[in-house]
Chains A and B, each alone.
Chain A
Amino acid sequence: MRRLTWFNATSLTLGFAFLYLPMIILIVYSFNESKLVTVWAGFSTKWYGTLIQNEAFLDAAWVTIQVAVVSSTIATVLGTMAALVLVRAGRFYGRTLFSGMIYAPLVMPEVITGLSLLLLFIGIGLDRGIFTIILAHTTFSMCFVSVVVSSRLVTFDRSLEEAALDLGCSHFDAFRLVTLPIIAPAVISGWLLAFTLSLDDLVIASFTAGPSATTLPIKIWSSIRLGVSPEINALSTIMIAIVAVGVITASLITKRASLRQQADERAAVHA
């Protein structure tokens, strides 16, 4: 039934060209010799060289990675707890408020989240810096983690936990030995999502970062507002490459795993 008609082939080709051409142009021109980014003047890697020597960028990158690792880790713990509460805890006082607070940040404009957190930090007299960015990022990415994890928990067979209890586990052991290993893929993808969101965030970080801490997106932002620059092209290329390698590896791993599982299941039927 599934056939590739000329219409489908055209729409796929044009669609993916639209999605990928801008990035490909960016990558190609990052190897441009000229400072005038729109004029091709021969192949060169010199912008990568100047990028590596640009300490401001390197510092910002280091801050960004610290923020992303710490915030996504805390967000994964809190988000997983929140998912357990959403799926498992049943009724409790303020449940509607709780689930509202989980889902609201997903649709909240970043300018509002950033503004409100900034006003809080000023109100309680917290000095803005890495710490405040981490708090801000943890708050909104824990909601994304909890959505990812709870969608896995919904399909989780409760009788697996009951079986663990039945066989003598405490509640905590049942979670540690049975539930967590099984939902681990969802928890890991939640962490990756939180990590990416944190790496990516400009608006909330702009509000909550102080002069002592600048993240990479803030740094990129302040230089691209002035226009296209070859250094930023080089930086973008590096970031795109890292993401592409990561995503392609991950999809290959899951594909291999699902192929192996299929083969196993086929073998089981004939066993």
Chain B
Amino acid sequence: MRRATLILLPYLWLLALFLVPFVIVLKISLSDIELAIPPYTPTLDLSEGWKGLRDFFAGLDFENFVFLTTDDLYWKAYLSSLQIASIATLCTLLVGYPIAYGMANAPDHWRPTLMMLVILPFWTSFLIRVYSWMGILSTEGYLNQLLLSLGLISEPLTILNTPVAVYIGIVYTYLPFMILPIYSALERMDGSLLEAAEDLGCSRIKAFWLITIPLSKTGIIAGCFLVFIPTIGEFVIPSLLGGSQTLMIGKVLWEEFFNNRDWPVASAVAVVLLLILIIPIVLFQRNEQKQREAEG
């Protein structure tokens, strides 16, 4: 009895506020646009009984999904989201790995402090962290001021409102997600393994490639997924730093909904985005599972 209450309360909450909304999205993605509120048909009218239900199902079609394939804005947005997410993930790895490595090899008494320094930005507002780059990257921003005064460039660079700014924004905001799993993998590594490798004739760099990298593989994979998955649907970074020329699907969805008020197409965009996300999520789960099995 008590157990049933314990299960039912969170269960019903999630059903009502997670699953049901989701089914609604799916339903609307199969509906037609109307200039009304709610701006779509058909609506399910249960007062008409069976007929209502039949009309409801008869009204569903895949028109919106067909529309997504005909207008190249959408598939370009999906592709460019995937591309930006992949490149940004790689950049985050390249920036994050040396930091994680440095942390794992720092003296013991430093590590709690370093750890705190990595986590601190995570608690800081995401919006503010993205915003802080706007002032740096703009044409008259701090970076251009610095480079001009150093004489490295004669004309200010245009970085803000380009994909480069989006990459910088993603690397900056998602860096902790990359550092932490890699750090925890490196920290667990037995230092004597490297000594053994060197003893057996490896150079230090060779030992890094043959021992350190393979042993931190699970951390690298986890970190990459943790950056890649949320980046695909990212909205704030491309909107603030990417300008109008950067196409990402989160931004398209937002604009479709708030600017064009085309709910059925926005819903269809969401459904396809989720279908795309399922692949990396399943791969990530499998990686986590493998790691748990290896540990326990």
Contact = CB atoms under 8 A, between A and B. Distances in A.
Interface of A: 1-5, 7-9, 11-12, 15-16, 18-20, 22-23, 25-26, 29, 37-38, 78-79, 81-82, 84-85, 89, 92, 94, 97-98, 101-102, 104-105, 107-112, 115-117, 119-120, 122-123, 135-136, 138-139, 142, 146, 171-172, 196, 199-200, 202-203, 217, 220-221, 224-225, 227-228, 232-233, 236, 239-240, 243-244, 246-248, 251, 255
A119 B267 contact: yes
B191 A1 contact: yes
Nearest to B233: A109
A264 B119 CA distance: 29
Given A26-B132, A101-B19, A247 B116 contact: yes
Interface in B203-251: 229-230, 232-236, 239-240, 250
Nearest to B136: A22
A56 B105 CA distance: 48
Interface in B259-274: 263, 266-267, 270, 273-274
Interface stretch (B62-70, B72-80, B140-148): B140-148
Contacts of B140: 38
Contact of A19 (B14, B121, B257, B266): B121
Given A38-B140, A120-B17, A142-B10, 10 more contacts: A2-B107, A11-B98, A20-B117, A22-B133, A23-B132, A26-B132, A82-B10, A85-B6, A199-B125, A243-B120
Main secondary structure of the interface of A (DSSP, over half): helix
Contacts, number: 230
A38 B131 contact: no
B56 interface: no
Contact of A89 (B7, B102, B105): B7
A236 B132 contact: yes
A25 B13 contact: no
Nearest to A218: B127
Q: How large is the interface on B (under 10, 10 to 19, 20 to 34, 35 or more residues)?
A: 35 or more
A11 B136 contact: no
Interface centre among A11, A15, A16, A117 (most CB of B within 10 A): A15
Nearest to B271: A112
Interface of B: 2-3, 6-7, 9-11, 13-15, 17-22, 24-25, 28, 37-38, 95-96, 98-99, 101-103, 105-108, 112, 114, 116-121, 123-129, 131-136, 138, 140-142, 145, 172, 175, 191-192, 195, 229-230, 232-236, 239-240, 250, 253-254, 257, 263, 266-267, 270, 273-274, 277, 281, 284
A109 B277 contact: yes
B254 to A, nearest CB: 6
A9 B15 CA distance: 50
A74 B18 CA distance: 16
B17 A117 contact: yes
**Which 8 pairs of residues, A with B, have the shortest CB-CB distance?**
A109-B233, A116-B21, A11-B98, A15-B99, A22-B132, A1-B191, A8-B102, A82-B10
Nearest to B131: A224
Interface centre among A29, A146, A200 (most CB of B within 10 A): A200
Contacts of B19: 97, 101
Contacts of B17: 117, 120, 135-136, 138-139
Given A101-B14, A236-B128, A37 B135 contact: yes
B107 A111 contact: no
Contacts of A94: 11
Contacts of B253: 111-112, 115
Nearest to A139: B17
